Structure 1
Amino acid sequence: MSTPNLDWNDIPLLLALARAGSMSSAARDLGVDVSTISRRVAAVEAAMGTRLFIRSNRGYEPTDAGTVFIAHAERALGQVQALQAETRAEGEGISGRVRLTAVNVLFDHWLLEHLPALLQRHPKLDVQLLTDNSNLSFTRREADFALRLAQPTQDAAILMRKVGEIGFTVFGAGPYAALPPEQWDTQPWLSYGEELDALPEMRWLAQRQGLRRVLRVSNVTTLAHACAMGMGLAVLPCIVGSRQGLRPLCAPVLTRELWLLSHRDAARIKRFRAVADWLGELFESEAAVLRGDVDRP
């Protein structure tokens, strides 16, 4: 009996099942019926001659063979998508969609004000900003560039380089706008919640024993607003405090590395190369501002 051939159109379905963990979720993500997912998984397993998924209490999970299949399928699909994107880009010039992901503090308090210059230089670009700090897949083109406030784990498929540093310092407003460091320990402090204790700025606070924390929040924007209302002192990125009307009470107390990530193939595509060049120029010209060494204009 001859072995059925693998239908390459089934690969996205199996990748969706591997990501979602359930046929209903995968079907919903792809806009197809559950029966279609089930039928195509069975067809691929027949073509491969082995089980690729097993059903457990946690949903559908890849077998050992399935894990190997998914890894190769992701690379193959990514290469096909890169081929299509690269071919179109070379034919169209610098145009098309570019997805950039970062934490919102970089978008809201720094990058957005510079984006008009990029779009003026390349008006046919379609820039998509994704506020996300999770590990999106470059292979599946979930993101084209990512900005991260820490050195990522090494990945052979990802090109990563340090592009700058973000400075943090102590800010105050109202009655706290001119306090010298020797008076800080007796003042009310604002910070993130305990779920963010691992952040460098939270570790800096933890080193100061006995601080009285009166408010904990979950994001930097709320923290900056509370500080600007005169509720207490806060450690904030220098680029945030300077735009909130807050007064820095000292030089930066710590810095965090800023890393730019992209797929290694991105440099071969015109629009990605153009954005990477623009980002490089921007980080170089804004280095002192990002570190907090100079005031923002």
Structure 2
Amino acid sequence: MKLDWNDIPLLLALAENGNMSQTARLLGLDVSTVSRRVAAAERALGLRVFIREPGGYKPTDAGRVFVSHAEAIYDRVQTMLLDTRAEAEGMTGPVRLTAVDVLFSHWLAPRLPALLQEHPGLQMQLIAGNHDVSFARREADLAVRLARPSQDASLRMRKVGELGFAVYGMRRRVPLAREQWPEQPWLAYGEELARLPEMQWLQRLGPKRLVRVSSVATMVHACESGVGLALLPCVVGDRIGGLMRLDPTPVLYRDLWLLSHRDAGQVARFRYVAAWLAQLFAADAAALRGDG
């Protein structure tokens, strides 16, 4: 029995996230199909690639060796495909862009029509999220992230700006002095996101009451309704008529990074969209920082 080449990206995805259901969603398969193909691949290899632990699926020692070589092979294949398709594809075809949802909904979406009108052959795919993606497996072609990733020779990374965060409250309320902030109820993400710089700032402030939310959208609506104060990106808070800054100066900045596969520049549409994004970030630098 020979290993099916099509099972390699499946094994790599499972090794990366350790979750059968998440792997199935990522690849557009059902869980039973993923489980069956993993079992078939292990039979073909004649070894156990994964062990199931309480925290998810973990590669065995042999599995880690397999994953290391498979990733290197897929990276080379991706480079080959990019090289051979670059001339033929031009400005027609899909471009997978991933970013945090707040940038899509409050900043990028209004700017997309002009790009698509100029290049109707582009098929933009917007993937909201902040999780790690594999450029080699084309899970994304370009990514905007709020932190510099660890050094990776396969990545091209460029700082394109800063995202400012300010404190917002319901507009109809009397403005509060900074020394009064800790006495107010605050909206915060769940404890699983405690490492976010926004949540670390809030922890240092030391508010006495927290209302936990699971998304920026919920935080905005709750803040607008007077549930509590919120630390929001200025590109979000400044657009909401029912909110006002409690202090005109942002209290926190996070770096914006544009990432791609190191060979993505050889594909015209990837190169063009990356340059377009960089120009947008430069033109809107003040608004993104919350200075304008």
- TM-score interval (norm. to shorter): 0.7 to 0.9
% identity of equivalent residues: 52
Contact 1:14 1:41 in 2 (8 A): no
CA distance in 2, matches of 1:39, 1:191: 45
After superposition, residues 1-297 of structure 1 pair within 5 angstroms as 10-20=4-14, 28=29, 38=39, 41-45=42-46, 51=47, 53=49, 62-176=59-173, 178-209=175-206, 211-245=207-241, 246-250=243-247, 251-294=249-292
CA distance in 1, matches of 2:116, 2:216: 27
Pick closer, same or farther for the CA change 1:286–1:72 going to 2, 3 Å: same
Provide the TM-score with structure 1 as the length reference: 0.82
User: Per the alignment, in what secondary structure is the counterpart of residue 112 of structure 1?
Assistant: helix
Contact 1:17 1:60 in 2 (8 A): no
Pick closer, same or farther for the CA change 1:137–1:239 going to 2, 3 Å: same
Q: How far did residue 167 of structure 1 move?
A: 0.4
Contact 2:162 2:256 in 1 (8 A): yes
Bigger shift: residues 270-279 or 60-69: 60-69
Q: How far did residue 158 of structure 1 move?
A: 1.0
Pick closer, same or farther for the CA change 1:72–1:102 going to 2, 3 Å: same
Q: How far did residue 62 of structure 1 move?
A: 4.5
User: Per the alignment, in what secondary structure is the counterpart of residue 125 of structure 2?
Assistant: strand
Unaligned 5+ runs, structure 2: none
CA distance in 1, matches of 2:35, 2:170: 57
Of structures 1 and 2, the larger Rg is shown by 1
User: Per the alignment, in what secondary structure is the counterpart of residue 147 of structure 2?
Assistant: coil
- Give the AA of the match of 1:171: Y
Pick closer, same or farther for the CA change 1:60–1:233 going to 2, 3 Å: closer
Pick closer, same or farther for the CA change 1:241–1:67 going to 2, 3 Å: same
- Give the AA of the match of 1:263: H
Pick closer, same or farther for the CA change 1:57–1:153 going to 2, 3 Å: closer
Q: How far did residue 218 of structure 1 move?
A: 1.3
Provide the TM-score with structure 2 as the length reference: 0.83
User: Per the alignment, in what secondary structure is the counterpart of residue 83 of structure 1?
Assistant: helix
Pick closer, same or farther for the CA change 1:218–1:38 going to 2, 3 Å: closer
CA distance in 2, matches of 1:92, 1:33: 32
User: Per the alignment, in what secondary structure is the counterpart of residue 207 of structure 1?
Assistant: helix
Unaligned 5+ runs, structure 1: 46-50
Bigger shift: residues 166-175 or 84-93: 84-93
Pick closer, same or farther for the CA change 1:22–1:240 going to 2, 3 Å: closer
CA distance in 1, matches of 2:65, 2:143: 27
CA distance in 1, matches of 2:177, 2:75: 55
CA distance in 2, matches of 1:197, 1:32: 35
Pick closer, same or farther for the CA change 1:86–1:215 going to 2, 3 Å: same
Contact 2:20 2:31 in 1 (8 A): no
Contact 1:144 1:263 in 2 (8 A): yes
Pick closer, same or farther for the CA change 1:165–1:52 going to 2, 3 Å: same
- Give the AA of the match of 1:68: V
Contact 2:7 2:37 in 1 (8 A): no
